[in-house]
Amino acid sequence: MLSPRNTRSAMLHARHTVRTRLLWGPHLKNVTAGRPRLRAPYSLVLTTAIAAFSAGCAFFPNQGPSSIDVVTSKPADPDKVQYALLDVSPAVLAKVQEAREPALSRTFGERRPPPAIRLGVGDVVSVTIFEAASGGLFIPQDAGSRAGNFVSLPNQEVDLRGFISVPYAGAVQAAGRTPAEVQAAIEERLRNRAIEPQAVVTLQDGRSSRVTVTGEVNSSVRFSITAGDRLLDAVARAGGPKYPAYETYVTLKRGNRTAKIYLNNVIASADNNVYLYPGDTVVLNREFRSFMALGASGLNGQINFENETLTLAQAVGRSGGILDLRGDPTQTFVYRLEPKALAAEMGIDVTPYMSPMVPVIYRVNMREPDGLFLATKFPMRDQDILFVSNSAASELAKFLAFLQLGANTVSDTNVGRIAIKGGRF
């Protein structure tokens, strides 16, 4: 039985012996035909490590696909997502910069204002009737001293049947007609009774032609539109957006159609500043545009733009830059869904893609000077994914760490065995 002091000495001696033999090779045994053979535990560790390294990066922990996987992987399974890989060049950058979101006019199809605002049930109108001379149906004989030969009827509401009432003309159809058409109908009814009658019909309160503006605005409003009112007119009537335009989205609802667009895109393009129609609903919402940063960057997670525009170079900076010990600046990727038409313009074969949007992975080599210039002009978009792949040196470091861990495990096992034998190897 060893004393505590002798036991400690035996343990230290055993640990030193095992580590020395592991590093310098004295653990080789039975040299047969000039070929050394490793002891079984060390052979098992080395074989396992080589197999793991040969299996690629999938064996080791990682935050995403390796650059080799992105470049060489072509999913043959139809259930997997097909994607296209594009290296960012000046030509590709020009196409990306020219790309625009689909205009609201494509969704609603109306590029012209409504032909005319027609009266509807509940509208309040005023009717004024003129006669050519006094002594007629509406103007008394002594009206020569008056400023004009006319009479104004009290304001009245278009009833549920769509009619208004005019003395001596009876019930006149108003709903579905323009004010000019109602005027003509009144004049026709009075032609044989009044002296050259002329009527003026004015819409006082267009309750049937109102538009509602609500959401993140300074003052929600419901107002009657006139022919020619546009989307930005409605936003202005509500006091403008409550938050900056680059944090605001506009939703336009018309019947069973709905479209959502970035407010700054409405301001920038006339095709997005569409004409309003009676019954439209305009909703402003505050939504932060953001991108997802993953991989070998200093900060992973969802990051807000906090500005109207954001470039790839700015996005890399906002995410903490590329880590020196892990990241590969030559393999900086941006994942994005692009319209099929734009993908075709950039030279992508779009025939395998059934949906209108094509998954595209853009790659930028930020180790090259021109790559940095391209990154300063490449525009990021809402919901983009920025992924920086691990470098080959990082994967090698994982392999060496795995090998060291296995060697240490075998070493510690031998230390215990030697200590039990009293310090003999």
Comma-separated ranges of CATH 3.30.1950 domains in the chain: 124-205
CATH topology of domain 211-286: Outer membrane lipoprotein wza fold like (3.10.560)
Q: Residue 33 has what pLDDT?
A: 46
What is the residue whose two structure tokens read 């090259």? 368
Q: Which two tokens stand for residue 204?
A: 């006082």
CATH of region 124-205, choose from 3.30.70, 2.60.40, 3.30.450, 3.30.1950: 3.30.1950
Q: What sign does the CA torsion over 101, 106, 108, 111 have?
A: positive
Position with higher pLDDT, 134 vs 288: 288
Mean pLDDT of the chain: 80
Minimal CA–CA distance to 252: which of 109, 77, 348? 109
Q: Residue 24 has what pLDDT?
A: 42
Which of 65-74, 265-274, 288-297 has the least mean pLDDT? 65-74
413 pLDDT higher than 80: no
For the chain, percent helix, then strand, then coil, each to nearest 5?
A: 35, 25, 40
CATH topology of domain 74-99+289-390: Outer membrane lipoprotein wza fold like (3.10.560)
Kindly report the backbone phi and psi dihedral angles of residue 317, in degrees, each rounded to the nearest multiple of 5, phi listed first.
-65, -40
193-204 pLDDT per residue, tens: 888 899 999 999
Q: Name the β-bridge partners of 203.
A: 125
Contact of 305 with 394, CB cutoff 8 Å: no
- Read off the pLDDT of each residue in 324-346 and give the average, rounded to a whole number: 91
290 pLDDT higher than 70: yes
Q: How confident is the model at residue 395 (pLDDT cuts 50, 70, 90)?
A: low
Q: Residue 332 has what pLDDT?
A: 94
Comma-separated ranges of CATH 3.10.560.10 domains in the chain: 74-99+289-390, 211-286
- Read off the pLDDT of each residue in 187-215 and give the average, rounded to a whole number: 91
| Whole-structure pTM value | 0.65
